[in-house]
Structure 1
């Protein structure tokens, strides 16, 4: 997927969350460690919710912002909706899963921070800022929930 506009960026982010949700769910059925299995199921549900929330941004966003070009976009490997999950999370420990998921969310947050400073119109800047706040809030929520699960 080529990301040329902020609408493409939202779609790319939505697809990332959707793919991650599917992969986490798939891996949960193959995970042997009970605590890690619960974490994968929780994370899968969380990513599905994030996918829907990001999609709502696209439906509600100012068309002027959506159609604004993203000039300084860093190239990322596109994720195809039908890409097969190779089950990496099924073989990871609880802590490794957390580290991987937090890294994923940190990358999205860093991208949004980068783009927030480069958005040329107010509407696009506001859109990226809102997406950034969503991702930051959800990352904090994931950290809190994973710490609760770790304590079980």
Structure 2
């Protein structure tokens, strides 16, 4: 997907969460390790909720911010999760899945931090800041849940 505006960025983020939810759900059906299977099921639900939450930003964001060009995105390394879900998580253990998920979320957070300081107008900066807060909060919540599962 080509990202040119903040609207594109939000849509890309929504699609990323949707793709992850679908992939986690698909891999959970083939995961043999009980803890890893439970983690994948939780992650699928978590990512599906994030998809809907991010989609709400498209509906309520300031049109001025949504239509602002994101020039600096082009120089940022793109985030590429498993493009086609060919069961990568079905073969991973609990810890490997956790590391992979946190790596993806950290990349999204880093992208938003990068863009926050480069937004040309205050409305776009506020939009990116809100998306950043959402991703940081959800990553923290995810970390707490995974740590609880790890303790079981």
TM-score grouping bracket, smaller chain normalisation? over 0.9
Distance 1:103 1:77, change over 3 A: closer
1:1-150 superposed matches below 5 A:
1-73=1-73, 74=76, 76=78, 84-150=84-150
Aligned partners of 1:105 and 1:139 also within 8 Å:
yes
Of 7-16 and 66-75, deviating more is: 66-75
Distance 2:4 2:145 in 1: 35
User: Conserved in 2, the CA contact under 8 Å of 1:12 and 1:78?
Assistant: no
Please give the per-residue CA displacement for 1:72-95, whole angstroms capped at 9, x wherever unaligned: 00252678xxx6411100010100
Q: TM-score, normalised by structure 1?
A: 0.95
- What CA deviation, in whole Å up to 9, does each residue of 1:89-116 have, x standing for no partner? 0010100000000000000000000000
Measured after TM superposition, the shift of residue 151 of structure 1 is 1.0
- Preserved contact between residue 36 and residue 93 of structure 1 (Cα < 8 Å): yes
Contact 2:116–2:125 (8 Å) recurs in 1: yes
Cα distance in structure 1, aligned partners of 2:8 and 2:80 = 11
SS in 1 for 2:38: helix
Q: Which runs of 4+ in 1 moved over 6 A?
A: none
Structure 1 counterpart SS, 2:52: helix
Q: Distance in 2 between matches of 1:95 and 1:55?
A: 30
Runs of 5+ consecutive residues of structure 2 not aligned to the other structure: none
Give, in whole Å, the separation in 1 of the partners of 2:120 and 2:7.
Answer: 15
The 3-state SS of whatever aligns with 1:72 is helix
Q: Rate the CA distance shift 1:92–1:115 in 2: closer, same or farther, 3 A.
A: same
Unpaired stretches in structure 1, ≥5 consecutive residues: none
Q: TM-score, normalised by structure 2?
A: 0.95
